[in-house]
Structure 1
Amino acid sequence: MYERDVTPKPVPFYLKPRILLLVVLVVVGLILFFTSFFVVDQTEEAVVLRFGRYHRTVGPGLHWKLPLGIDRNYNVPTQVIQNMSFGFRTERPGVVTVYSSRDYPGESIMLTGDLNIVDVEWIIQYRIVDPKAWLFNVEDRTKTIRDISQSVINMLVGDRAILNVISVDRTMIESEGQELMNQLFKQYDLGITVTAVKLQNVVPPKGEVQDAFEDVNKAIQDMNRLINEGKEAYNKEIPRVKGEAQRIIQEAEGYRAERINRAEGEAKRFLSVLEEYRKAPEITRTRLYYEMLEKVLQNAESLDLVDKTLENFLPLKALGGTGTTGGAR
């Protein structure tokens, strides 16, 4: 017997034209909305292109642009200090920075002015100041920065002796390098300014040259140490000797003044005695005689006096210790 499927067929989904148009308008509106605004961070500036041509530069904030790719924005970090290293690379920056174990001798090995070879590692810090120039004036920005920086440092190192490069001229190379790099970047209209050039390791190449140079450095350090020790001993001894000399001079001055004063006093005393003598010679002679005896006998403990013709012997002793002894002439 023939069987027939009498199950009713599903009615196809049908949208009214108004609903379809509304959906299309909503989707188009969302696309227009999300492509009409862009945000610029506080550390950035945005360059806006219209149909691929430069249109304007805007600062931080929310900005409007023509949708559907008519306007395109390119955010550039103009307030961020960027670094570029030469002769080494940083694998992981942080509190404990990890550097790459690979060497870059093509960047760091240089010839000095006295025909020695030195290994110089350095970094530059720069900031983008013109977003438009940064985006469009130079095709390979990184290579241009590296080439200009290398040429400047090579030139500055090549004008100096190796000992000056390693020691006294490091700061001068950094300041002159920063100035020359900024001049060249301005000529290339790269849109950046170098804020700092910092030399890192400046050493002779590894091997026998470096070992010999380290020996020279040790000898120089020993020389400086001995010079400093000598200066210290000099500074310690000279003031003491000068003080001692000054003390001796002062003592001599005091002794001189004392002798002069004493001599002047004795001279005045002699003149006064002479004047008295002229007035009364006999009295003055007697007084001078007694004064002389008093001075001679003032420390005597035991004394025997005799007359000058030995006619009378007068043994007079000081009885009881400190009595005064007298006698006749």
Structure 2
Amino acid sequence: MDIFKNFKNKNDKVVIDENVNKQINTVKKFSSLIVLGAVIAVGIFSSIYSVSEQEQAVITQFGKVVSVETAGLHFKLPFIQQRTTVNTTTQGMPIGYEESGTNDPIEDTSAYEDSMMITKDFNFVNIDFYLEYKVVNPENFLFNTDDPLNTLKNLTKASIRSTISKYLVDEVMTTAKGKIQSEVKNKLISEMEKVNIGIEIVNISIQDAEPPTAQVIEAFKAVETAKQGAETAINNANKYQSEKLPSANADADKILKEAEAYKENRIAEAEGQVARFSETYKEYKKFPLITKKRMFYETLEEVLPNLNIIITDGKTQSIYPVDKFNK
């Protein structure tokens, strides 16, 4: 009886195991269907998207742009294609200050450095600009540079500085604001066409222009003092030059004239000696011995003018002074 009882229990266990396996398989199938359904739902949800009137969507597939979609409802391939939305409305960028969300701008160190400009007359001015722009080519905006807005800001600051440096400080703060805005805008548009990052300049305007802070004003006063000292030194040098230059010119002219006269005298003297030598040479060729003696006596007269000359043959005892024969 025990044997039959044990056999019955084994059959019941087998039946229970089969039921458990069936339940497990059913749960696995159900779970797979849920996962598959979830994947399909996610794929369908990510495939259908909408673009607002203020945006454009750039669709890429394996890193390559396949389309740029405007406002409306659109479809893309799930998991293969990616969507990047770009705002195409007119946006603003402060230059020289930070927007606080209220009517008052927030000045910080970086913004202050952006607003500090040097004018044509080497003055400092603290000037703020507000730039308005919009994205007109989302593909170039996303892929032609790593940071298009930073590129835009740097080009704007460069255009502003190069323009402000052409104007006097009074013009920057008063009468030339309109010309400065127009010149900066045209210059910035030209630079943006070169980089081609898909951004269009709408407008740029001066928000405020004022003298720099007290610390910078002190530095500026020091610069002005140095400039005045330099001008004083230059004026004194010019005065000294105006006083000394005529005298120096007169002295130089006198020296030149004396040199010219000395030159003419030496030339005339040399020419006279040449003529004299030529005449002497002509006589020498006629009477060489007599000419030699005459030249010898003349030379003695020049060298020893105050000596008495005595001529002797070396044999006679008498001495005959030459001066007696001359008398």
Report the secondary structure of 1:91's partner residue.
coil
Equivalent in the alignment of 1:62: 73
Q: Which blocks of at least 5 consecutive residues in structure 1 are unaligned? A: 1-5, 214-329
Deviations 1:9-44 (A, max 9, x none): 896333437655543442332122112111111100
Equivalent in the alignment of 1:83: 92
The Cα shift of 1:209 comes to 7.7
1:188 to 173, 192, 195: 195
| Structure 2 CA distance for aligned equivalents of residues 29 and 200 of structure 1 | 54
Equivalent in the alignment of 1:102: 108
The Cα shift of 1:66 comes to 0.6
The number of residue pairs the alignment matches comes to: 202
Equivalent in the alignment of 1:141: 148
| Structure 2 CA distance for aligned equivalents of residues 176 and 23 of structure 1 | 64
| Structure 2 CA distance for aligned equivalents of residues 15 and 122 of structure 1 | 70
Report the secondary structure of 1:35's partner residue.
helix
Q: 1:19 to 1:203 in 2, by over 3 A?
A: closer
Equivalent in the alignment of 2:55: 44
TM-score w.r.t. length of structure 1: 0.56
The 8 Å contact of residues 56 and 71 in structure 2, kept in 1 or not, is answered as yes
Deviations 1:88-139 (A, max 9, x none): 10121xxx42432435332111111111111111110101110000000011
The 8 Å contact of residues 203 and 210 in structure 1, kept in 2 or not, is answered as no
Q: 1:98 to 1:26 in 2, by over 3 A?
A: same
| Structure 2 CA distance for aligned equivalents of residues 67 and 42 of structure 1 | 24
Higher helix share: 2
| Structure 2 CA distance for aligned equivalents of residues 190 and 159 of structure 1 | 28
The 8 Å contact of residues 111 and 158 in structure 1, kept in 2 or not, is answered as yes
| Structure 1 CA distance for aligned equivalents of residues 212 and 39 of structure 2 | 66
Q: Which blocks of at least 5 consecutive residues in structure 2 are unaligned? A: 1-8, 221-327
| Structure 2 CA distance for aligned equivalents of residues 34 and 166 of structure 1 | 57
Equivalent in the alignment of 2:172: 165
Equivalent in the alignment of 2:24: 14
Give the AA of the match of 1:139: D
Deviations 1:56-104 (A, max 9, x none): 1010111110112x100111111x2111112110121xxx424324353
The 8 Å contact of residues 130 and 207 in structure 2, kept in 1 or not, is answered as yes
TM-score w.r.t. length of structure 2: 0.56
Report the secondary structure of 2:24's partner residue.
coil
Equivalent in the alignment of 2:208: 201
| Structure 2 CA distance for aligned equivalents of residues 177 and 31 of structure 1 | 49
Q: 1:58 to 1:209 in 2, by over 3 A?
A: closer
Give the AA of the match of 2:108: R
The 8 Å contact of residues 148 and 181 in structure 1, kept in 2 or not, is answered as yes
Q: 1:176 to 1:19 in 2, by over 3 A?
A: same
Which residues in structure 2 correspond to 1:294-309 (within 5 Å)? none
**Percent identity over paired residues:** 25
Deviations 1:206-252 (A, max 9, x none): 228869x9xxxxxxxxxxxxxxxxxxxxxxxxxxxxxxxxxxxxxxx
Report the secondary structure of 1:55's partner residue.
strand
Equivalent in the alignment of 1:177: 184
Q: 1:24 to 1:110 in 2, by over 3 A?
A: closer
| Structure 1 CA distance for aligned equivalents of residues 55 and 205 of structure 2 | 26
